[in-house]
Structure 1
Amino acid sequence: MSARILLLEDDESLKLILSRALSSAGYQVRATASIDAVLNWVRAGEGDLLLADVLLDGTSFLESLGMVKRLRADLPVIVMSAQTTASTAISAEKGGVFEYLPKPFDLDLMLTTIASALGDSRRRQPDGNLAEPTGLIGQSSAMQATFKAIGRAATSGAHVMISGEAGTGKRQAANALLRARGVKPDDVALITPSHRTEEIFKSTAAAAQLLWLRLDEWSPQQQRAARDALDTGTGRVIATLSTPGSAALDSRLLGRLSECVVTLPPLRERPSDIPVLCDAFLSEFAARDSQVTLQLSPPARALIDKADWPGNVVELRAVLSRLSLSTRGRLAGPDDVARAMMHDQPDQKDELEAHASRLASAALGAPDARQLASDALDRALLEQALARSEGNRSKAAEMLGVNRNTLARRLTELSGKS
C-alpha cells in the first residue's frame, strides 16, 4: 500500500501542483486548507506524513504543531514556509518537524525529503519551548542554511561556535540561541577580551551558560585559562569569532568549541537579501521615530543593492537609520542614499562645531582643560568605532585612520584615566 500524505496548503494553485506531484510519485494525497481538518485526520489516525505550509490565512501552523505531536508523536511533519526568519526555523526545529523547506523549493528536493522522512525511524520530538522572534531575516540559500544551523543548535546542549565577519549579526544569533534554549539573560556569564585571565577561569568553571565574545581577540593566556576551565567545569559555551582559521586561536580550545558550528554569511554573499533587510529596517525606524515608512526610489534601491557593504548588515542598518532620519518620510533618491553612505549630512560641519563648542564650554575652568577635552573626544570616538565594528579593533582602527597598536595604546591610556 502506498504511503498517505496529508497536505495542508491554502494557496489553491500550489496545493494543486503539490497534489499532482505527490500523486505522480505514487503517494495517496489528502489535501486541505484547514488546520482543524488536519487535526481531525491526525486524531483519526489518517496519513503517514504531514506536509504543511506554516502561514495559513494569517494563522501559523506552528501554533498547532504541538497538538499534532501530542496526538501522534511518531507522525513525521515537513513544513514549508516563505517566512524567511531564524525564529521560524528554530520554532520548526524545536517543534519536532522532520524538515523545514523554505519557499520556493525544488519539487525533487521535496520528494527526496518525503522519502527520507518516511524511511527514517528516528523521529525528532518537540520540547515545547518555542523561540521568540530574533530579527535575523533573509531569503537567500546562504541564510536558509544558517537558519537551519541555528535551529539544530537550539535543540542541542553542545558548545556552539558562531563565526562571521564583523557586522554579520553574530551577537544577535547568539542571543537567539540563548532565547531558544530558554536561558535568561541574568543566567549568562558574558566574557569579552577585556576580562582578566582569572575572571575567565572563575566564570567558566562555575557558570552553566557562557557567552564568549570575539574569541579571536583573546590573548593566548586568556584562551588557555578558558580551555583549562572547560576541562573542569560543566557549563555550555556559545562563542563568537570573526576568523575561525586564525593561527592565534588555541587549537585545543577551538576543537572543543566546534561541536556545533553556525556560520553567518557576509552581505556580499547574499545580495538578494538586501531588499528584504531594507524593508524590515525602514519599518523598524518608522515605528521608532513615529513617522511614515521611508520609501526608496528605484535608483536609490539600485545604489543600495550595488554597494559593497564591508560592514555587512550592521553598516546597512546604520546607513538606513541615517537616511530615515534625514528624509523624514519623503521619497529618498540616490543622492540621499549617497550622503547617508558617506556620513555626509548637509549640516554635519555645523553640528560638529556645535558639539565642540559645548565640549569646550564644559572643560574650561577645570585643570588641564585642553587635555580633559581631548580625552573626552578620543574616548567617544573610540567607543563609537568599536561599537560599529562589533569590537573588532582592526576595523575600528581603520575607521579612525590609525593603526591597531595606536588604538590599543590610546585605549590603555584612557582606561587609566577613567
Structure 2
Amino acid sequence: MQEGVQRNKDQAVDRGRLQINVTSEITAYPIENATISISYTGVPNSTLEQLQTNQVGQTEVVELDAPPLEYSLDQTIEEQPYSEYTLQVNAPGFEPISIAGAEILADVTALQDVRLHPLIEDAEPEVYVIPAHTLYGEYPPKIPEDEIKPIDESGEIVLSRVVIPEYVIVHDGSPRDSTATNYYVKYKDYIKNVASSEIYATWTENAIRANVLAIMSFTLNRVYTEYYRNRGYDFTITSSTAFDHKWIPNRNYFDTISTIVDELFADYLSRPNVRQPILTQYCDGRRVQCPNWLTQWGSQSLGEQGYSAIEILRYYYGDDIYINTAQEVSGVPSSWPGYDLENGASGEKVRQIQEQLNVVAEAYPLIPKIAVDGIYGPATAEAVRVFQSVFGLPQTGVVDYRTWYKISEIYVGVSRIAELR
C-alpha cells in the first residue's frame, strides 16, 4: 500500500477538487463544525488538509493532487487514473467515521456525503474502505440476460406503469449471499453512486448521459418487473457486477455525474410496444467484449467523436431504442408541473414551493423565510437563489426541473423526521 501511495504522489501532476457534506443520519439536518482530516490512503497519520463544516454542513471546496487527466480518458493507459484519500470525520455528539479510498480525478469535483449517527457509549467507530473502480480493478463480468423480461408467468409481480421509486433496497453482495447487508438507498443517490463507480466523471457529457440512461433503465427494469422479489428475495437489486451494477456504501460521487442524474432521473430506455424499461446491459469494452451491448470505453470514444447520447445508445442497442419518461415520481409531494416557476408566477404550485422552502429553512437558516401567499415575487426568488447556492444548483432564482425535485427531496427529508418527533 505504501508503495502505491508513493507512486500516486510522484505522478500527481494534475489537480482535482473535493467538497464534503455532513448531515445527521437521524434528523437529516446539517452538522456545523464537523472536522474532516484528509490524508493519503495508506498514510493516515500524515494530514494533508483539515476542514470544518459551515452552518449548512458543508466544507469549502479543496484542491487535491490527482494523476494526469489523460489516464482516465485513454483506455490504453493502465495506470490508476485517480488518487485515493482517507477522510476522518468527527463532530461533537456524533460517532466518528472513517472513509478510506475516496477517489479524486483530475479536473472534476468529488462530492462526499457523510451521515453521522448520534454518539453511543462504547460503540466502535465506523470504517469504510472503498474498493477499486470497476474500470481499474478486477470484477466479474455481467452474466447475460434477456433484455425484456416475460411478464405473463403465473405469479409474476409486475407494476402497472413505470414509477420512479423513492428508494431501492441494495443487497451488498451476490443474490445468494445471505450474510450481505441490505441498504435502503435513495434512487438518485444510487444512480450517482453506480455511475461514479462504473465510468469516469472526466468523460464527455454525452458519454456520461448515455451511460447514466443505461444504468437507470436497467435499474428500473429490476424495479418494474420485481425481478428479485419474484425469486423470493427481499431486495430490489444487488451490488454484484455479475448480476447488476457496482454500488459501494459511502463512496464519493462527482459533480459532472450528479448534474446529469438530476436532469435525467425520471428517464429510461424503451422499445416500441414494450411497456417495461429495457434491461440495458453493458461491459467495459477493454477487458471484456459484449456484442450488441454498450461498451463503456466505446461510448467515450463515440462521445469524443461528437455523437449525442441517443446516437451512442442506438449505435449499440439498435435504432429502435428511444428515451421515455416516467410520469410518476414516488416520495415527493407532487411531480414537476411541467413549467418553470419564476417572478410573476402565481397559484397553488407557487404556494407549495413557498411552504416547502419555509420548512427547509428550519434546518438551513441561511434560507430566508417567506410569506406563503402563492405569489412568486422577489422574496421567493431570493429564497430559491439561496437554496440553489446551498445545494450546488445554478443560482437563477427560478424553480426549474432540477430545483423543484431538490426542494422536494430536502423538504421530505427534514419534514419526515419532524413528523416523527
Normalising TM by the smaller chain, what interval?
under 0.3
Larger Rg: 1
Higher relative contact order (CA 8 A, sep 6+): 2
TM-score by length of 2: 0.25
| Structure holding more strand per residue | 2
TM-score by length of 1: 0.25
Bigger helix fraction: 1
